[in-house]
């Protein structure tokens, strides 16, 4: 045992030499030096790699610009998550599924980074010179929190298993720092978080070949607000999409989430309460750039925790560049990338949102079902119909898995976000290692997501998943005793009959 422990670093270095040759990779940001660990020893991890000049000081509340080159970058640990806060409310995820939440530290404005997980060896069926498909992850969190280091969202187990793809996670600004709606900014400077996502993708396109990735096969993948972001992106960049495919879990551009404060009063209210009142638009902005981010977040958190009305909402606004006013009309006019997409929802999305809840008896099922269909299933169906009408290939699914280590209360079922650990392969990190059927469902989802990333046009049909058409079949994961099975669209969407 002692001998093995002493040889392990040497053996891992040999494996590295055979695959990526070294853990220091050249990028436009400078040479980055990554890390491996004993849990997933066949995965090279490059963490906290800056893709932009950090939005601090005078660059706070400005669109990000690409990072200038440094002499060396330590990529052995996660970078800061963007400024945000967790509320003091109670819900299923906060109380029972902490694996979905980011650690509180590190946090700071120096947060515009990417994390890259790449295999150290390629699958034997691959030619050693063949580049690997790349899947780029955008986290959810309602655009007010989230980050790329939530335990359930670490893709190294998936990359370790497949050895056939690369995953990249982009950190983007959220809350008042990502969507300020400040009167001192131009309209095209308000949706900073969405602009961060685009710049992160541009960085990936320019650099991923050095990590063994194929810049012609980049799939953009997100969940919840991340999935909405994927669709926003899809409709914003038809002329230069960068990506070859889209994966949207529990969210599309049609999810009725609301919009930001176009009157700029929320930003001004925060400014007034932090000593920046009664100033011109530019004076207000300049003053707020001198307030520490911790004081800004602390004020918004205190206000939010007190449930004061009206709420302080910081979301995207219509700029007709990154976010538009009528997505159905835009889709039907063909103003989107038309790249193939996977899109779907969970069977009991609403169980995670309805309050109050009782650990034994659950939630008001009428309200939960209304949330599941009104916010998720029916908008997803409308998106699929719009895409079909415009000739864009779409693959729909429903996730119905109900596993006690992810859904610890008997009534939660396949609640919002519960599919994430299945795709990431992290389902066993809380309350035991999971069941064999759980592992089978995880593999079924991973393999289909990967087949899509390898070939978004034909990959899924080769494994028996037919493209969406009205009245056809979708894919159902984790229902009954079958990891995956076809299911009639009419069964999944019986409560969306008002959609033509």
Q: Strands of 213-223's sheet, edge to edge?
A: 43-50, 113-119, 166-170, 132-138, 213-223, 245-249, 341-346, 394-399, 473-479, 482-488
- How wide is the angle at C-alpha 123 spanned by C-alphas 118 and 124, nearest 5°? 150
The one catalytic residue among 416, 442, 479, 489: 416
- How wide is the angle at C-alpha 100 spanned by C-alphas 99 and 102, nearest 5°? 90
**DSSP β-bridge partners for residue 486:** 475
d(CA 48, CA 124): 30
d(CA 294, CA 287): 15
Question: Which of 56, 66, 339, 60 has its CA nearest to residue 198?
Answer: 66
The one catalytic residue among 109, 249, 284, 349: 349
Is 272 designated active site?
A: no
The one catalytic residue among 224, 407, 417, 479: 224
User: Tokens 């209304």 — which residue?
Assistant: 370
What are the tokens at 411? Answer: 């009534």
Question: Which of 275, 145, 276, 134 has its CA nearest to residue 204?
Answer: 134
**DSSP β-bridge partners for residue 246:** 220, 341
Question: Which of 348, 396, 398 has its CA nearest to residue 372?
Answer: 348
What are the tokens at 92? Answer: 């299923």
What are the tokens at 214? Answer: 């194929």
Termini Cα distance of the chain? 65
d(CA 32, CA 24): 5
Element (H, E) at 167: strand 166-170
Is 216 designated active site?
A: no
d(CA 386, CA 376): 15
Contact (Cβ atoms closer than 8 angstroms) between residue 208 and residue 166: yes
The 3-state DSSP class for residue 116 equals: strand
Residue 466: count of CB within 10 angstroms of its CB:
14
Contact (Cβ atoms closer than 8 angstroms) between residue 387 and residue 341: yes
Contact (Cβ atoms closer than 8 angstroms) between residue 399 and residue 372: no
d(CA 389, CA 298): 47
Taken in order 409, 413, 415, 418, the sign of the CA dihedral is: positive
Is 349 designated active site?
A: yes
d(CA 51, CA 69): 10
d(CA 341, CA 380): 12
Catalytic annotation, residues:
224, 349, 416
């Amino acid at each position: 045992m002692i001998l093995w422990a002493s040889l392990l670093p040497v053996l891992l270095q040999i494996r590295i030499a055979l695959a990526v040759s070294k853990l220091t990779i050249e990028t436009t940001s400078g040479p980055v030096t990554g890390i491996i660990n004993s849990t997933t020893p066949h995965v090279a991890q490059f963490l906290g790699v800056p893709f932009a000049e950090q939005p601090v000081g005078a660059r706070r509340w400005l669109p990000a610009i690409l990072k200038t080159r440094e002499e060396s970058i330590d990529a052995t640990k996660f970078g800061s998550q963007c400024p945000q806060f967790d509320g003091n409310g109670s819900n299923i995820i906060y109380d029972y599924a902490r694996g979905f939440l980011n650690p509180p530290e590190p946090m700071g404005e120096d947060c515009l980074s990417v994390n890259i997980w790449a295999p150290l060896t390629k699958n034997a069926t691959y030619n050693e010179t063949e580049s690997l498909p790349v899947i780029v992850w955008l986290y959810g969190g309602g655009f007010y929190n989230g980050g790329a280091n939530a335990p359930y969202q670490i893709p190294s187990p998936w990359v370790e298993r497949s050895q056939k793809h690369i995953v990249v996670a982009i950190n983007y600004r959220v809350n008042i720092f990502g969507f300020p709606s400040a009167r001192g900014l131009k309209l095209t400077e308000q949706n900073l978080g969405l602009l961060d996502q685009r710049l992160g993708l541009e960085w990936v396109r320019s650099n991923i070949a050095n990590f063994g990735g194929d810049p012609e096969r980049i799939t953009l993948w997100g969940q919840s607000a991340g999935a909405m972001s994927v669709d926003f992106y899809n409709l914003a960049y038809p002329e230069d999409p960068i990506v070859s495919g889209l994966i949207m879990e529990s969210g599309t551009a049609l999810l009725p989430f609301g919009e930001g404060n176009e009157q700029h009063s929320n930003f001004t209210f925060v400014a007034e309460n932090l000593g920046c009142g009664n100033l011109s638009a530019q004076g207000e902005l300049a003053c707020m750039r001198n307030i520490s981010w911790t004081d800004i977040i602390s004020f918004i958190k205190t206000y939010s925790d007190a449930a004061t009305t009206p709420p302080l909402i910081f979301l995207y606004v219509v700029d007709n560049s990154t976010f538009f006013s009528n997505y159905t009309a835009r889709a039907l006019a063909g103003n989107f990338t038309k790249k193939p997409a996977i899109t779907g929802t969970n069977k009991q999305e609403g169980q995670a949102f309805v309050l109050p809840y009782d650990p034994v008896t659950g939630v008001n099922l009428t309200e939960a079902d209304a949330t599941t269909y009104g916010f998720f299933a029916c908008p997803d169906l409308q998106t699929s119909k719009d895409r079909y009408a415009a000739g864009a290939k779409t693959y729909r699914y429903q996730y119905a898995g109900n596993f006690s280590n992810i859904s610890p209360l008997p009534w939660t079922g396949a609640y919002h976000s519960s599919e994430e650990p299945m795709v990431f392969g992290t389902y066993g990190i809380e309350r035991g290692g999971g069941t064999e059927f759980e592992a089978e469902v995880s593999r079924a989802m991973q393999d289909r997501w990967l087949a899509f990333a390898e070939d978004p046009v034909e990959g899924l049909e080769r494994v028996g998943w037919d493209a969406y058409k009205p009245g056809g079949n979708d894919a159902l994961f984790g229902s009954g005793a079958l990891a995956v099975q076809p299911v009639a669209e009419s069964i999944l969407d019986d409560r969306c009959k008002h959609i033509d």
